[in-house]
Structure 1
Amino acid sequence: MRKRIIPVRNFSKYSDFSVAAERLKNHPRHRDYLDQVPQSQLEKLHIILRDHMQGLSLEDSLASFRLDPEEDLNKLDDEELARKKGQMDTLFERNRKRTDDPDFVYDLEVEFDKPNQEKCSWDDESDDEF
């Protein structure tokens, strides 16, 4: 099989990664080769390319794709926030239990223990009292 090189044209560090990925995927010369590649993967490659053009290292660029539960999402710009929300949606769908799953439990209650967690009076009340 012959190796195919697909150039990325008209892309700068100011380009919109999602538009560039869509344009590449729908290009008549590349459509057959990229048909099975998810749009999100092409977007991720364009983000890494853009980050490189802006001087970020590969490690820093890849770190931006990891979800950090302690990260303050209020400090992100709109583009970064949309990307993080997309990642959270993907993770949610991957972990979501549906009624037809074999290990589905209807009214599952989970106790989360945290060290140094303060107790509240309403935590001790039972739902059965109502």
Structure 2
Amino acid sequence: MDFEAIRCGVRFRPPSIVLIYKDTETNKLRKRVIPVRNLSASTSDYKTEAENLKNNPRHKNYLQGVSQIQLERLHLILQSHLQGFSLEQSLTSLPLDHDKDFNEDLNDDLNEDLNKLDDEKLALKKNQMDELFEKNRKHRDDPNFVYDVEVDFAKGTDEKCSWDEESEDGF
């Protein structure tokens, strides 16, 4: 079964994430309420909790279309509400530079050898790259979508390398 996430939000009592999704087989809109357990006002690691929720076998198929960053933000909203803040205060206290930090982390690690990472860090890097791809992706419904784009790149100065030269063997 395939599901397409339409809208995602929070419910404060009980602390839950509400997902409006479309069942692609039946084309019906449905609502799924996902309880957020083990959430405390003081010491909740929202990144780990969001990752665990996204990888939970019960919710994994439904949350494929929801980005990790969005789940982290929803966890932050729930956590700040448990601390006594209103919804408006929770929304204004969210870090606005989360996307900036995300892009800086990704750009800092461009030269990192992904073959040397352990499975957890590699999965995190892949998720970051997937989110960046989806963010920059052009869909057919976008107003600036062009089907067949041809670009001529300017010829720069070609750097000579030792392997460009002919060898004594004639190869």
* AA partner of residue 88 (structure 1): K
Instruction: Determine helix, strand or coil for the equivalent of 1:55.
Output: coil
Kindly state the Cα deviation for residue 3 of structure 1 after the two structures are TM-superposed: 2.4
1:11 maps to 39
Q: TM-score, normalised by structure 2?
A: 0.40
Tell whether 2:68 aligns with 1:39: yes
Q: Distance in 2 between matches of 1:29 and 1:17?
A: 19
Moved over 3 A (4+): 89-94
2:99 maps to 87
Tell whether 2:92 aligns with 1:63: yes
In structure 1, stretches of 5+ residues that fail to align are 68-83, 95-101, 103-130
Kindly state the Cα deviation for residue 91 of structure 1 after the two structures are TM-superposed: 7.6
Q: Distance in 1 between matches of 2:56 and 2:68?
A: 13
* AA partner of residue 37 (structure 2): R
Kindly state the Cα deviation for residue 65 of structure 1 after the two structures are TM-superposed: 2.8
* AA partner of residue 61 (structure 2): D
> Paired residues, what number?
78
1:7-41 deviation digits (Å, cap 9, x = unpaired)? 11111112111111001000000000001100000
* AA partner of residue 17 (structure 1): Y
Q: Compared with structure 1, are the counterparts of its residues 66 and 7 closer, same or farther at alpha carbon in structure 2 (3 Å cutoff)? A: closer
Q: Distance in 2 between matches of 1:12 and 1:64?
A: 17
Kindly state the Cα deviation for residue 90 of structure 1 after the two structures are TM-superposed: 5.4
2:58 corresponds to which of 4, 24, 29: 29
Name the structure where helix makes up a greater proportion of residues.
Answer: 1
Percent of aligned positions with the same letter in both sequences? 53
- Match runs of 1:42-53 below 5 Å: 42-53=71-82
